Structure 1
Amino acid sequence: MHRLRVVPAALPGRLHRSGRTAAGLRAAQARAHSHPGPRRVSQASADFRLHDFHGGLALDGHKAVSLEVPLASAGLPERVYVPIGQHQGEAGDLLLGPGDQVLAGQALTSSADDFEVPAHAPCSGTVVGLCERPASHPPGSRRRCIEILNDGRDEWVAPTPLKHWAECPSGKIVDHLHAMGLVGLGGAMFPTAAKLRGPWGAIHTLILNGAECEPWISCDEMLMRTRPEAVIRGGQVLAAAVAAERVIIAVEDDMDGIADALKKALAQQHGSLEMVIVEVPSVYPQGGERQLIETLTGLQVPGDGLPQDIGLLCHNVATAAAASDAVVHGRPLTERIVTVTGPGIQRPCNLRAAVGTPVAHLVAAAGGYRDGVQRLVLGGPMSGTALSSDEVVLTKGSHCVLALTDQELAPRPEPMPCINCGDCVAVCPASLMPQLLFRALAADRHEQARDLSLLECIECGCCAQVCPSQIPLVDYYRHGKARLGLKDLDQRRAALAKRRYEAREQRLAQQQADREARRRARAERLQKAGGARDEIQAAIERAKAKKRSGD
């Protein structure tokens, strides 16, 4: 296990600050938006007008170092630790117990609805049991995992492809994707079935997001380079699941040869579905869902809405490839491509890695650490999470392991007071007022921050990157969101308790009313019965009197 210097979990973009002044960053921002107005791009018989989103930065790229070597396998470790809650939603019930034998691809957890995504074994072996492993976020937390002792045989369950999927109802496709454990592979890990089957109207356009804007991450580019046909076929599957009329595949314009590879794969496919490949500017955070939608369509997703509200659906290209594997080949989601890179890695590369693999195993597969490693990041330098050790295991949403040395980590100066320069406002891609959010949160005015649209912040780190006062703005935003989340949770719990109390009082009152009604009914019956008895007794007395008079 490699221990690293304890660092904050939030990374507000300081990793690129060394050697770059605030003026230089503002110049980078200007370069990022120097193209004049909307442009037309012709791709695959479609004429596209690209638009600018507000803000953003042009960052120095470091992807070439991990793209110079072919895609390889990280291999399976001796033990894997499959997280049972690696998606947005509840974890299902365990299907296996300690000592049970398991095959690769076998379901480990059950699923009651779209938000309970099943986890699958990435290898064959023996279930050791439940354990806890360090989680990437929040710092110091731990994640429940199923520990499996790898038997080295790599025996798989029989594949279960969805035959004739193009002729299947959309619901059946979604059910199959859910059973195969699909979640969003862009990082958010939102259940794919819930996203496809949500309560919204018609979806006319599916967008496949291949705009990999973090400066070190190249796993999606490697995927599109090595498996373009899987991305195309996965786009067809996802489009069929929502009856979309067309698919747009967006890639960055600095991805050499990727658009051509996708077009070549597209030319080999058959069908009437309109699919186009569009190259978009390499501006951070171009890969953000709302930013990419605005670039492609000129439409802005409502702050309190979703892309589905305007007839659009966005999925990562890796999610599309996983959908192809699930439907065409019947393979559940048990592995993904992960970029292992940074100056602290001996051989930066992209690796096919099993879900549940410890980060230490990935680093070893990439040649190990270089001397002087000081920080390990899960994700990219702008929006990733710093780790305190390499015991953390990969989830379905883990796309990059970044190792940095002191040379890249300029010491963080003490924050200075905000000078209202407006640099953060200029680069914010969500069109927020970062300085006002900071002031509200610094004063613990969380509701005011909510009113200032804190929850619309995408935590991209652009504001902290350009802040001349060195204020760790993203730290404040993440903490503020967490506080609001806890407050909302407390309010929901209080509302639930109130509803339960009111329901109990209503139930008790109803029970009392029912008892009173039954008492009155009994009294009435007794009264009626008493009257009848009186009539009978009177008749008896009359009969007796008549008999006596006859005698």
Structure 2
Amino acid sequence: MDTLLEQIENGTLWQFPGGVHPPQQKSLSNHAPIARLPLPEKLILPLKQHIGANGQLIVSKGQTVLKGQALTQPSGNWSLPIHAPTSGEITNIAAMPSAHPSALPELSIILTPDGKDTWIPLTENTHIDTLSHQALIDIIHNAGIAGMGGAGFPTYIKADSQRPVEFLVINGVECEPYITADDMLMREHADQIVKGIEVMQQLLTPELILIGIEDNKPHAISAMQQACQHNKKILVKAIPTLYPSGGEKQLIRVLTSKEVPSGGIPADIGVLVQNVGTLFAVSEAVFAGKPLIERVVTVTGNTIKRPQNVWALIGTEIKHLLDSQGFEPVDAQRVVMGGPMMGFTLPSVRIPVVKTTNCILAPDNTELAEPGEEKACIRCSACADVCPQTLLPQQLQWFAKGKEYDKLEDYNLFDCIECGACSYVCPSEIPLVQYYRVAKAEIREQKIEQVNAERAKVRFEARKARLEQEQAERKNRHTRSPSRAAKPAAEKAKVADALSRVAKKQGEQSAVQAAIERAKAKKMADGSLEPDNSEVVLERAKRKEQARNYKAQKQTAEVNSNDNKSAVAAAVARAKAKKAAKVSETNDAGDAPVNPPAHAVATEKETATEEDPRKAAVAAAIARAKAKKAAKVSETNDTGDAPVNPPAHAVATEEEAATEEDPRKAAVAAAIARAKAKKAAKASETNDAGEGLANPPAHAVATEEETATEQDPRKAAVAAAIARAKAKKAAKASETNDASEAPVNPPAHAVATEEEAATEEDPRKAAVAAAIARAKAKKAAKLAQANEAEVNNTDSQPIRGTIEPPIDSIDAEQPATEVDPRKAAIAAAIARAKAKKKAKEQEGNDPS
């Protein structure tokens, strides 16, 4: 049995499944040679005209360019540059409608030709044998050549295949009705196409090169056979006319009997396919140095007066091609880019020609009728019978309508070549290919989203792992590493030996140092060496300086702390000066000194001020009271009477003892002292008149009051108020005795005893007792007025002494109000009532 290669050489052909026979309309455009068109007004050059990444712009708006000059440069995988189709100016770079059924805008360069059509300097090559493999690949890459059969795959990728190529298949079938671009190119430029084939042969080194051409193109077949006579590895094969035999997978099956696996590419089975138009562009780039700036386009249809193939510059608007060939539109005119089977209707004739454009079809309404309304599938299986990929178009359409993308992939949707044979034979006029195109686009978008999500997940997990590692490193930064903890015993022994040697060496050094110190001490004992005490002297001087500074700071602090005591002492000194002046006035009048020695009073006051400023104020008030009492005692001595009260120093001793216990008690004691002084003054007046004592001795009353004040501050305040009431009552009683009347009320000490007993029990009872005392005082006043009316001429002299207590004594009473605000208010009201009563009594005694 012959091998596959022998079968191919013997002219054996195979058949692919399915296929249709649409009516041929190639005779409209293949009777005239390829024409040259005049320069258009502008050229629109999309940056992306191929499968892969866009090129990077290297021109700017307003720049002048030459024909063949690169406008972009490759910037990524499968990226190709584009070139200026003619010389002119870059008038704009903006988004323009693309050559796509959606006409979505794409970034494009707008070039305005200058009419000169000036080329850049070209690099020609006559012999490719002198060029290396990489040099040929770079020439093809920089020329911007992409597959011109419809897919737009970058040619340099296929030319640099790393897989062994057994068969190089040249596609000259051109199975679409109406299209004759490849047919006319093979007729007119067969030699250039063969040169391009030889370039690919040098790059790929295939075992055999097969050129497939449909048998409806006899002129092209003969032209290619004649051009290939010198190359024994090139075989021209005429295949039967059947659509879609021009498909890549179908042509491989017909010429080699090999079948491309599902989801695979021809390189997987050792086959590579190139279009005749692509090989012509390779020949132009390698031998003439021209980039891909133009291509052959079939302009045909019943609305075209001169249907013909033309050389169209890349970027020429479709309208310019139609107008050049005498376009006469009809109602509901359609313009199709591509053939009637696989082409698409253009939304506008302002769409530019790109590298994959091979036909512009402008049919009338009878030539290519409008598709009718879609009807329900009748399950005739005609679509499955004509499918060249042996798919199930009916099932795919159901899954596409239901958006069951997983099932679509299970039924090999992406094996569909979108040939349109299924739609062509469908009696229900279902646009099956449109459903497949939409489903493919949605599945691609889903996969892109999934890929992006996976990448984001990987980045997130990597970041999380990095953060956890950094956190663990921070925690373990100060801990002993396991490697250090797991040191072998031998290494530990070495470390111990080293440490022992160091210790031994240090011990030897310490012994030497001790010997040196002993020698120095011996020399010092002999007197031969004097010690250096300079450092000791400096340290001693520093310590002395620090001591002086500390002493100065302490003195400053003491001065600041004694500012308040100094102010009090100054006030006491001023009081002493005033008192001394009064004493001197008294001595000038021939009297004996009334007050005790000033140094004794000063000593008592200074002792009090050293303890507390408040106690100092209380002591000052006590001193003033003592001075007044001493003055009254001296007056009594002048009249030859005995002192009524105990000695002042005894009273002072008791008051000082009280003030040392509590400031509040001290204030109460001061108030009691003032009351005693007033009572003593009144008693002395009574003695001057030759009368006896109406009340008990003052020291007894004071003793009782002091005992009460030592128990409770509140009781002390009540006791003070009672004492004031007693003093006023005693004064009234003395007035009654002056009038030779018997006392109306019981003795004051009895009343005081009862009131004090009540106050010791409860503060409320104390308030009641105070009210009773006020009532008694009013009653005594009325009785005194009655007695005075009877004996009006008994005494014509006013009562000596002041009616109201001195202002300083009132001030001294203020600390007592701190005990309770309510009781203080009551005491103040009592004091005002007493003052008014005394004023009335004085008016009654006034002889006027």
**TM-score in terms of structure 2 length:** 0.56
**1:350-399 CA deviation, whole Å, 9 max, x = no partner?**
00001011101111111123433611111111111111110100110001
Question: Please, what is the CA RMSD of the aligned residues?
Answer: 2.8
Aligned length: 499
TM-aligned CA deviation for residue 411 of structure 1:
4.0
Maintained 8 Å contact 1:464/1:471: yes
Partner of 2:203: 241
Q: Which moved more, 1:162-171 or 1:111-120?
A: 162-171
Distance 1:488 1:135 in 2: 24
The residue correspondences of 1:158-197 to structure 2 (distance < 5 A) are: 158-162=121-125, 164-197=127-160
The residue correspondences of 1:461-480 to structure 2 (distance < 5 A) are: 461-480=420-439
Maintained 8 Å contact 2:17/2:386: yes
Partner of 1:134: 97
**1:294-350 CA deviation, whole Å, 9 max, x = no partner?**
011111111121111111100000001111111111110000000011112221110
Distance of aligned partners of 1:546 and 1:226 in 2 relative to their CA distance in 1, 3 Å threshold: same
Partner of 1:259: 221
- Report the AA paired with residue 220 of structure 1: D
Maintained 8 Å contact 1:63/1:218: yes
- Report the AA paired with residue 157 of structure 1: I
Please tell me whether residue 366 in structure 1 is matched to residue 328 in structure 2.
no
TM-aligned CA deviation for residue 442 of structure 1:
1.5
TM-aligned CA deviation for residue 509 of structure 1:
3.5
2:182 to 220, 223, 226: 220
**1:432-461 CA deviation, whole Å, 9 max, x = no partner?**
111111111111101101110000100011
- Report the AA paired with residue 508 of structure 1: L
- Report the AA paired with residue 98 of structure 2: A
TM-aligned CA deviation for residue 170 of structure 1:
2.7
Partner of 1:354: 313
Maintained 8 Å contact 1:373/1:404: no
Maintained 8 Å contact 2:161/2:204: no
- Report the AA paired with residue 460 of structure 1: C
1:83 to 37, 46, 56: 46
Distance 1:497 1:543 in 2: 73
Partner of 2:291: 332
- Report the AA paired with residue 223 of structure 2: A
Please tell me whether residue 145 in structure 1 is matched to residue 113 in structure 2.
no
Distance 2:277 2:335 in 1: 24
2:391 to 432, 435, 444: 432
Distance 2:260 2:418 in 1: 17
Distance of aligned partners of 1:515 and 1:374 in 2 relative to their CA distance in 1, 3 Å threshold: same
Maintained 8 Å contact 1:204/1:311: yes
- Report the AA paired with residue 390 of structure 1: V
Maintained 8 Å contact 1:108/1:119: yes
The residue correspondences of 1:392-411 to structure 2 (distance < 5 A) are: 392-411=351-370
Maintained 8 Å contact 1:136/1:385: no
Equivalent pairs: percent with the same residue? 38
**1:116-169 CA deviation, whole Å, 9 max, x = no partner?**
111111011111231222123241411221111111110111112345313433
2:404 to 445, 448, 468: 445
Distance of aligned partners of 1:352 and 1:542 in 2 relative to their CA distance in 1, 3 Å threshold: farther
- Report the AA paired with residue 241 of structure 1: L
Distance of aligned partners of 1:549 and 1:126 in 2 relative to their CA distance in 1, 3 Å threshold: same
- Report the AA paired with residue 381 of structure 1: P
Maintained 8 Å contact 2:174/2:183: yes
Distance 2:40 2:371 in 1: 37
Maintained 8 Å contact 1:170/1:243: no
Partner of 2:191: 229
Distance 1:61 1:370 in 2: 22
Q: Unpaired runs of 5+ in structure 1?
A: 1-39
- Report the AA paired with residue 356 of structure 1: G
Distance 1:127 1:515 in 2: 59
Maintained 8 Å contact 1:378/1:386: yes
Maintained 8 Å contact 2:170/2:275: yes
Partner of 1:59: 22
Partner of 1:20: none
Distance 1:340 1:374 in 2: 15
Partner of 1:69: 32
Distance of aligned partners of 1:514 and 1:109 in 2 relative to their CA distance in 1, 3 Å threshold: farther
TM-aligned CA deviation for residue 547 of structure 1:
7.7
Distance 1:331 1:514 in 2: 62
Please tell me whether residue 155 in structure 1 is matched to residue 118 in structure 2.
yes
Partner of 1:313: 272
Partner of 1:419: 378
In terms of fraction of residues, the more helix-rich structure is 2
2:340 to 356, 381, 389: 381
Please tell me whether residue 455 in structure 1 is matched to residue 414 in structure 2.
yes
Maintained 8 Å contact 2:89/2:113: yes
Distance of aligned partners of 1:161 and 1:513 in 2 relative to their CA distance in 1, 3 Å threshold: farther
Please tell me whether residue 304 in structure 1 is matched to residue 267 in structure 2.
no
In terms of fraction of residues, the more strand-rich structure is 1
Distance of aligned partners of 1:541 and 1:480 in 2 relative to their CA distance in 1, 3 Å threshold: farther
Maintained 8 Å contact 1:438/1:473: yes
Partner of 2:536: none
Distance 2:355 2:110 in 1: 16
Q: Which moved more, 1:105-114 or 1:406-415?
A: 406-415
Distance 2:329 2:122 in 1: 41
Q: Which moved more, 1:158-167 or 1:418-427?
A: 158-167
TM-aligned CA deviation for residue 544 of structure 1:
9.0
Maintained 8 Å contact 2:54/2:75: no
Q: Taking CA–CA contacts closer than 8 Å with sequence separation of 6 or more, which of the two structures ends up with the larger relative contact order?
A: 1
Please tell me whether residue 284 in structure 1 is matched to residue 243 in structure 2.
yes
- Report the AA paired with residue 223 of structure 1: L
Distance 2:115 2:338 in 1: 29
SS of corresponding position for 2:274: strand
Distance of aligned partners of 1:329 and 1:478 in 2 relative to their CA distance in 1, 3 Å threshold: same
- Report the AA paired with residue 249 of structure 2: R
Distance of aligned partners of 1:243 and 1:168 in 2 relative to their CA distance in 1, 3 Å threshold: farther
TM-aligned CA deviation for residue 113 of structure 1:
5.1
Distance 2:409 2:511 in 1: 89
Q: Which moved more, 1:183-192 or 1:505-514?
A: 505-514
Distance 2:119 2:477 in 1: 65
SS of corresponding position for 1:194: helix
Q: Unpaired runs of 5+ in structure 2?
A: 485-494, 522-848
Distance 2:9 2:46 in 1: 43
**1:397-424 CA deviation, whole Å, 9 max, x = no partner?**
0011111222234343322222221101
Please tell me whether residue 342 in structure 1 is matched to residue 327 in structure 2.
no
Distance of aligned partners of 1:517 and 1:229 in 2 relative to their CA distance in 1, 3 Å threshold: farther
TM-aligned CA deviation for residue 494 of structure 1:
0.8
Distance 2:89 2:463 in 1: 48
Maintained 8 Å contact 1:346/1:370: no
SS of corresponding position for 2:10: strand
- Report the AA paired with residue 433 of structure 2: V
Distance 1:344 1:166 in 2: 49
Distance of aligned partners of 1:99 and 1:466 in 2 relative to their CA distance in 1, 3 Å threshold: same
**TM-score in terms of structure 1 length:** 0.85
TM-aligned CA deviation for residue 520 of structure 1:
5.1
Distance 1:464 1:435 in 2: 11
Bigger radius of gyration = 2
Maintained 8 Å contact 2:184/2:220: no
